[in-house]
Structure 1
Amino acid sequence: MNKHFFERFEREGSGRSNAPAFAMLGVLASYPEMGLEHLRPGERLTLSGLIPGEPLRFGFSPRDRAILEQFHALWPMWVDGLAANWANLVSEFGPQRIEIAQDDENPEVLAYFAELLADASVGAASVYIRGGEPRWDRPLLWPLEIVAQSSERRLIEVLWENVSGGDALVRWPPLEKSAVGHVLLVPPDISFVPGAPGTQAREMPSSAIAIAFVSERKTAVEAMALGLKLRYRLDTDAVLVVRTPMKRREECWLALLAALSSGRALDEAVLLASRSLAVPFLLSSWKFLTKAKLAAWDEQGAASELLRFSELLRDRFELVDVVVPEPLARSLGVESSQLSAPELAAALRRFLSEPGVERQPGLGAALAQLRWAVRAAEEGLEVPLSQNSSTPPPLDPKPPRKPQPRYLQANIFSTDEDAAVHEPGALLADRTYQLEVHIGPVHLGSRFVWKPFPEADLPSSPGGNDLTVVFADISGGRKPPPPQLARIHLPPEGDSTPCSFKFSTPVLEGLEPSAERFSARIAVLYRNRVLQTALLSAPVVSSVEARMRVWRGVEQDMELPPVFSNEALDERTHFDAALVLNHDAAGVAGAMMVEDEKARWLNIDQPDLEESIRQLRARLDVLTQSADRPVGLEDGRLVSLLVTLANQGALLWRIVVDQPGVGPGLRQGKRLQILEARWGTFLPVELFYEFPAPHTKAQLCPNARQALETGECDHECHRDEELAEDYVCPAGFWGLTRVLERQRVVDPEQARGDVGLRSMPSRELRTIPLLLKGLVGASHRVDSHDIGSMDKVRHTLRTLWPDCTQEVKGWKEWAKAVQQHAPSLLVLLVHTGIEERTDVATIEIADEELAVSRLHERHVRQKDSSGGVLVLLLGCSPVLPAVKFQSVVGQFLWAGRGSAVVVSSVADMLGRHAGPTTAELLNGLGDLVRQGAVNVGDAFIRLRRKLLAGGDPLMLGLAVYGDVDWYLVAPTSPREDVDAETGDVARRMWGLPDSGACA
């Protein structure tokens, strides 16, 4: 039988891998007692012929061909049943060490079987080919004696250079007939023909293992043929043939050593070490493999060395990605084996925080692998991270002393005993525990957030800073206990003062041991600005016995994508309160309010909230989609809309804000931070109405226009509750009286990191120069209802900033213009839709659609640019799409990498409204910045009021996402807005060019 006979089983079927089903078929053929000939489709096997601890045989005899032909004819009927039996086998006996016992030693067939069984879907612990009886009996011991030609000396040096004490672990006898060694490195020029050129196989010394590295250009059949020749020509117990690019031999070599040094058997170590390479071919006997195991190598101090190594990696942002061997990546708990230096450092520190990890065997070899991976990544860099054998040197020969990074750390302790006992594993149900939180350097065994605490952003103070820590139980499935709040002091160095919180685990009611989890959020704030949040979770089990069966314990992770601020927080906006919008572990919506010394849950009923948002948006849409716009603030249609929105907003305000325990920070505060910490969580804070709700025939407040100028109204009609029902006032809406900074998480898969801060340059560079360069894109539908709508925008731009803006006709042209000109103003009048093939939301400019999944940084900001970008994103509501997690606004924030401020609306608008509204916003921005620099938060609250006074209803639903501390500036000439004495200073302060506005 040849390979093609068997390939038919793998190729045909449902499109998924048929390898598990075919593996089961080969096992049935090797164990006649299981009854291959009498098996029925879907029948569950008893697996009575298997012996735990013995290898699982796989193979087909010549007589099986007729039976296999019958199987192939009905293969689709058998695939699922065979795969299910294989899954049962693995579930009952664990991952199997598979022995290919094939009578036909056709290299093509053996290679095909080995590659098939090594497929990840099979889940084998090892795969080897039965290759004769042992010929030589010598146990594997440290130090390993590796016999090799002088030309292969580099493989030995790799170990000496990267492994601490490598010369005590590996010895190198030169290649000669009389040499004695554990491992023979087969020469690349080996010859099996007497008298032919090359190194003669018959002259090779005896060894326990013979390893041949061959080029990846060799086919599997050629590699297997070499393995068969070596197995029967050399005096050795096992032959290993590894196909690999020659430049990756060292990587595979180190990975094999790492697997062996952790005490794994040879066959298991071989498969594990080669996961990221071609499948290795191992030929041996089971008798040899039962004893082919090195004692676990426990290098003293390896954990401390790894911790120090992670410190050197932490700041290496210029280092290209490090390719970590796949087995090591799994040990570190990372999904991708390609990591940046800081990501690798974080993974290392998280791994080293596990209890007892410092005693885990194989750490020294893991350190060697990492050193090699970093060296490979640093090729060509001027300042390599590591240059010699045992200890990586500092990055600079005389580096300035850096303060040791500190991390948010939270550890759970049992309170049942007289002395507190650290609980890193599963928690017991219906028990009280104590959580201790502090910020400080990491110690082995401590649970910590993997990204350093952003202490550089805190005000410089010789005595340190006081911080607020909030602990909130979000386990779900029960009424959440009130959030707890404590204060800690963070000195300039060392550990902060600790704080502690008591909590109780859920009660289990007939659930499986791992069916319940405790979940909590920890937030650290400075003056009501959230600096860092973490999610703490642990499985909850019913008994101590059940806890022994749950291997994962307490986990602590960052909650949102990590972002930085590069300036002291005393120069940033101080918020009166912060709202964290999220869901608990059961998916129930919730909001947590934090202000000064208070933290509490705010009641949000998700169905009622969604219905309220739908009604608010529907009412706004009535005017934004009508044939004409209101002519002014007193327009009856606009007053009617204000009355409707005020009633909805008053109800929301009463449910969320007007509750016992809510302090003045949220009630009367003028600057609030709203953190949308989960997809689809939206609270229409802009439409909260704090005055008494007006009745349906209410009139406009007599003081309405003055209120829109000043941002507050103290007219006597609001002092009497009964009289107040006769009037509606714009000053009652939060969106017209408060600076609201919205931040939104972008990707639920990236939900690990800081919340409240976005990347911000220093204050003098924290500007968005509106008149520097602008880019415009508009859907062709803008003019479909009202010809000339887009002309209003073009006319405004030409008037305000002649020759400084460019309109493009497609997304490729758009991205090209962003990269060439680095525009600071992006104006988009879009139409949103759904891509038919992918069901992903799209945005359209001109007549070209772009799926939001394909929106990238190149569409928003010039690569490596440090400037800010203002995005006016209007059209069909990009804030609240039908599929919430596909929000266009969220994608623009993500693509802007923290430098983008996105202004959008919760209401849909047609071109007849989008065009004039955009033009008015641009005119208003031009007027504001000509009076001097203005931060985004103040600019848009003033614009909302001004344009609403002119009758624009869209201002009621306008939302600003991103950091409100960006400053808008736009002098149009060197002399405008500055005098002769202060001009140069002002221009340097705002980072403007020397000779005008247009670049």
Structure 2
Amino acid sequence: MSNLIEVDELARRLGLAATEADSPGRAAALAGAVELPLGPAAWVWLATGLWRLIREQPAGSVARRQALAAAVKVPLRSMRESLRRLAADEGEPDRDLLVVVLDGTAVPAAADLIDDLAGSAPGGLDDFLAAEQVAVHSFDENEPDGSVARHREATGHVPAGDRDIPPGTAMPPTVRRDFGSAGGRPRAMPPDGGRQAGAAAAPQTDGAAPADVEQRRVNAQILHAGRVRRSFVSGADNVIRCWIGLKDAAAAAANEAIPRVDIPAEGLELTAELYWNEQRDARRLILPAERTARSGDCDLRLHVPEGERFVSAEIMFRYRGRAFEVVRVEAFALAAGEEEEAHHQLQVRVQASRRDVIAVADSQPVDATLVYGDDRAQPAGAETLPPSPALRVFGGEGGRGFDLDDAAQAIRWLNEALFSTEKLVVRRQAAQGGDDRLDADDPDVRTLLRDMARHGAGLYNQLCDQGFTDPGERIQVLNHDPDTYVPLEFVYDRGYPVSDAPLCQHGLAALEAGEGGCPACAMPTVAEERSAAPVICPFGFWSLRKIIERVAPGEGSQESVPRGVRRALPAIDAVAFASSHLVPDDERAATRDALQRSPGQVAVAEDWLQWRAALRTHPPLLVVLPHHGVHAALDYLEIGDPALGEDLGKLSHAQIDRGCVNPDGRDPGPIVLLLGCQTGAQTETGYVQITRRIQQQHAAIVLGTLAQILGRHAAPLARELVAELMAVEDVQADFGTIMRRVRRRMLARGYLMALCLVALGDAEWHLTPTRAAG
């Protein structure tokens, strides 16, 4: 027996440290271990690890099939019986690997199997898994036996093979003897960050919900030194254990349930990512399809510094990169040995909830989700919290925080300088012979793009100084700040241009050719060019290179979002048009004529009453060029003649309802092109709030700019944008890809404001080509 490998040695050989959450090679490592000379306890340790993989991995996956093939060779009677029950299920997708179990030809033979755990009792491995998890929750061998059953009843730790566990059920002796956590010995299963889908599949009995009602929510516990607490311990390592399930009496539960979504039978793989105080962590989990079943546990680790008195951690659950549920986990931090009092309670508060990210199962994965702004509530009795970083980036390994104080300054410059020059929009009309292209030789164009690049480089350099790295091509943005946009489209990552920097000829050629990037500027910027770039490359602006999806942080039921197979916006076969008379007469007439030459019907509204009437026919495109103003501290949008009465010509923020956007709340909702005009520099705050209000009235997409523009610029921009949308021919392209293409084409044709076009809404919408519909 001295030559047999026991648990400690096996864990060391496989490289599965107790703190490791989910080694990518865990399946291969465990499968290879069946060929080793293992002792009885090591076989139990290995068997539970393989069984966990079998239960948590999707059917047909390489990891699951590898684990099944290895499990057949495990010489434990409990494993063989578990596999036999699995093989007897005619619906088991990987049943082909288990034929040898049914026909009795599996090696080792039945006579050579080791009696372990509960012998050959059905559910032996399941019972072992549940009991091991109980041990992790601080039940030791001195705990009354009834505590195990009560914990199972409260948390759903019910073994699949034994639904009715009588009070007084004890943990298997093997667990207590060899793997009790109190003794500091290795855990009874290969570490993988806590319960996963397998242990989660058992129904929960606490607050059970009907099968068609979603009542699961994020639950959380604080663990320190293996013990559950209501507060963090300062000057020490702590763990936030979180999962999605019905309310658990032994944990803090979120104030809202997760959104109800249709979940495939194999469950949903989510990633939970933590951000707090420059610390981050991430774990994967499976959300089961059964609405009474809990997900796996995620143990997210953080160190609370000495003297810290309060922790407010942000945790994001992501599906295919997009935010599904975002919560804050908050609790006091106490010094080691300090007694917890009644008011020391853990709280979980929902910050954002997005059901639509699940509805489109084959959506394009998002590389990173960015959260802008901070909506934390000051906890009662807590000291003043430090300001949260304005921007948090969640990219798969946990969140990172960045300050972005230059953003407001950049937007102010857009308002006060960028749109104040007439040549910014009418460059195409001024070009010789009406040539529709970007005039790179015009000094005003070069100066404008240089200054835009300088502001964008300032934003990028500020982020890079804090350790920022490129978040990827597809970005989702959740904006908690109601007063402004984080100007990601404005970011420029090709360095700060020198004063006489020319436009990059390679980039201009690529732009005119409709290519996706500049061949000369594709390499990362060298350090010296961050402060002195020799050229201005249009592809340095993120608006031309990245797909930026801006969504409301709410549940998503107010805006129109893709659902399953319903993801195509209708062809633009009708348009509603309204404009302020502050837009010059000739520009209004040119826009109206251009729309009337396009396919379909055009309804022109001269006041808001006519506008509401025009929307009763549900045109798929709404084009509005209103004047934005403020009276008595109330923001309003004005269309038609300024001499109109207030009730006809002006629409205040509070008056915007579905009758102004989508009267019947139909799906899909319309595309709204909103170019708010101004007659002078005004605050952009109210305008941003108005665009969001319109988005909430069940609009699919709201197109606008980062800031307001002059009336004489709005009409040409609107005409060009509508023409580009109607020219779309790619049925498979999502709206995010379409908008990036539209920006590139419009800039190539001389519309500099295309760099600042912003799309609010889900980038997964597809646009039906107008010609195809005709």
TM range (shorter): 0.5 to 0.7
C-alpha deviation, 1:619, in angstroms: 3.9
C-alpha deviation, 1:944, in angstroms: 0.9
Matched, 1:903 2:708: no
Whichever residue aligns with residue 561 of structure 2, its letter is M
Q: Distance in 2 between matches of 1:508 and 1:610?
A: 34
Matched, 1:656 2:463: yes
Matched, 1:760 2:558: no
Indicate the SS of the match to 2:241: strand
CA 885–449 in structure 1, closer or farther in 2 if over 3 Å, else same: farther
Matched, 1:629 2:427: yes
1:909-949 deviation line (CA, Å, top 9, x unaligned)? 222211111011111111114x6464321221111111111
C-alpha deviation, 1:641, in angstroms: 1.1
CA 547–599 in structure 1, closer or farther in 2 if over 3 Å, else same: closer
Identity of aligned residues (%): 24
1:685-730 deviation line (CA, Å, top 9, x unaligned)? 1122222332111112112333221120012797896899332111
Indicate the SS of the match to 1:573: coil
Match of 1:860 in 2: 661
Answer yes or no: is the 8 Å Cα contact 1:779–1:845 preserved in 2: yes
Match of 1:467 in 2: 270
Match of 1:726 in 2: 534
Answer yes or no: is the 8 Å Cα contact 1:592–1:599 preserved in 2: no
Match of 2:29 in 1: none
CA 736–579 in structure 1, closer or farther in 2 if over 3 Å, else same: same
Instruction: Identify the match of residue 412 of structure 1 among 203, 217, 222.
Output: 222
1:805-843 deviation line (CA, Å, top 9, x unaligned)? 21112223323332x21222111101111122xx12211
Indicate the SS of the match to 1:519: strand
Match of 1:199 in 2: none
Match of 1:557 in 2: 349
Gaps of 5+ in 1: 1-303, 305-356, 359-391, 396-400, 474-479, 510-515, 746-752, 978-986, 988-995
C-alpha deviation, 1:657, in angstroms: 4.6
RCO higher in structure (CA 8 A, sep ≥6): 2
Q: Distance in 2 between matches of 1:754 and 1:877?
A: 33
Whichever residue aligns with residue 472 of structure 1, its letter is Y
C-alpha deviation, 1:501, in angstroms: 2.6
1:852-898 deviation line (CA, Å, top 9, x unaligned)? 122112211122412221010103379994436962211112222xx
Q: Distance in 2 between matches of 1:554 and 1:489?
A: 24
Matched, 1:438 2:232: no
Answer yes or no: is the 8 Å Cα contact 2:625–2:639 preserved in 1: yes
Q: Distance in 2 between matches of 1:557 and 1:719?
A: 40
Match of 1:580 in 2: 371
> How many residue pairs align between the two structures?
540
1:593-992 counterparts in 2 under 5 A?
593-596=393-396, 598-606=397-405, 608-623=406-421, 628-629=426-427, 631=431, 632-634=437-439, 635-657=442-464, 660=467, 662=469, 666=471, 669-680=472-483, 682-708=485-511, 709-715=514-520, 725-745=533-553, 753-754=554-555, 760-762=561-563, 764-783=565-584, 787-802=585-600, 804-818=601-615, 820-836=616-632, 839-846=633-640, 847=642, 848-876=649-677, 881-883=683-685, 887-896=689-698, 899-929=699-729, 932=731, 934-971=733-770, 977=772
C-alpha deviation, 1:677, in angstroms: 2.5
CA 852–650 in structure 1, closer or farther in 2 if over 3 Å, else same: same
Instruction: Identify the match of residue 481 of structure 1 among 242, 253, 278.
Output: 278
Answer yes or no: is the 8 Å Cα contact 1:704–1:729 preserved in 2: yes
Indicate the SS of the match to 1:466: strand
CA 758–574 in structure 1, closer or farther in 2 if over 3 Å, else same: farther
Q: Distance in 2 between matches of 1:455 and 1:658?
A: 41
User: TM-score normalized by structure 2?
Assistant: 0.63
Whichever residue aligns with residue 556 of structure 1, its letter is V
Indicate the SS of the match to 2:220: strand
Q: Distance in 2 between matches of 1:636 and 1:757?
A: 46
Q: Distance in 1 between matches of 2:257 and 2:494?
A: 44
1:526-570 deviation line (CA, Å, top 9, x unaligned)? 2211111112223567899996474x732222113x553286443
Q: Distance in 1 between matches of 2:702 and 2:595?
A: 19
CA 451–569 in structure 1, closer or farther in 2 if over 3 Å, else same: farther
Instruction: Identify the match of residue 520 of structure 1 among 313, 317, 324.
Output: 313
C-alpha deviation, 1:457, in angstroms: 5.4
Answer yes or no: is the 8 Å Cα contact 1:624–1:908 preserved in 2: no
Q: Distance in 1 between matches of 2:395 and 2:678?
A: 32
Q: Distance in 1 between matches of 2:366 and 2:682?
A: 26
Whichever residue aligns with residue 467 of structure 1, its letter is L
Q: Distance in 2 between matches of 1:946 and 1:571?
A: 28
CA 629–555 in structure 1, closer or farther in 2 if over 3 Å, else same: same
CA 920–661 in structure 1, closer or farther in 2 if over 3 Å, else same: closer
Answer yes or no: is the 8 Å Cα contact 1:559–1:754 preserved in 2: no
CA 443–695 in structure 1, closer or farther in 2 if over 3 Å, else same: same
Q: Distance in 1 between matches of 2:395 and 2:612?
A: 42
1:168-205 deviation line (CA, Å, top 9, x unaligned)? xxxxxxxxxxxxxxxxxxxxxxxxxxxxxxxxxxxxxx
Answer yes or no: is the 8 Å Cα contact 1:905–1:957 preserved in 2: yes
Whichever residue aligns with residue 583 of structure 2, its letter is V
CA 457–733 in structure 1, closer or farther in 2 if over 3 Å, else same: farther
CA 546–442 in structure 1, closer or farther in 2 if over 3 Å, else same: closer
Q: Distance in 1 between matches of 2:218 and 2:301?
A: 18
CA 582–697 in structure 1, closer or farther in 2 if over 3 Å, else same: same
Answer yes or no: is the 8 Å Cα contact 1:411–1:447 preserved in 2: yes
Q: Distance in 2 between matches of 1:429 and 1:599?
A: 21
Q: Distance in 1 between matches of 2:743 and 2:275?
A: 35
1:772-797 deviation line (CA, Å, top 9, x unaligned)? 332112112112xxx31111110111
CA 442–907 in structure 1, closer or farther in 2 if over 3 Å, else same: closer
Gaps of 5+ in 2: 1-152, 154-205, 377-384, 432-436, 643-648
Q: Kindly report the root-mean-square deviation, in angstroms, between the aligned alpha carbons of the 2 structures.
A: 3.8
Q: Distance in 2 between matches of 1:886 and 1:946?
A: 26
Answer yes or no: is the 8 Å Cα contact 2:475–2:549 preserved in 1: yes
1:653-682 deviation line (CA, Å, top 9, x unaligned)? 2222576473x6x1xx22111211232353
Answer yes or no: is the 8 Å Cα contact 1:877–1:905 preserved in 2: no
Match of 1:500 in 2: 299
Tell me which structure has the larger Cα radius of gyration. 1
Q: Distance in 1 between matches of 2:313 and 2:589?
A: 53
C-alpha deviation, 1:628, in angstroms: 4.8
1:123-142 counterparts in 2 under 5 A?
none
Q: Distance in 1 between matches of 2:357 and 2:324?
A: 13
Q: Distance in 2 between matches of 1:428 and 1:658?
A: 32
Answer yes or no: is the 8 Å Cα contact 2:483–2:686 preserved in 1: yes
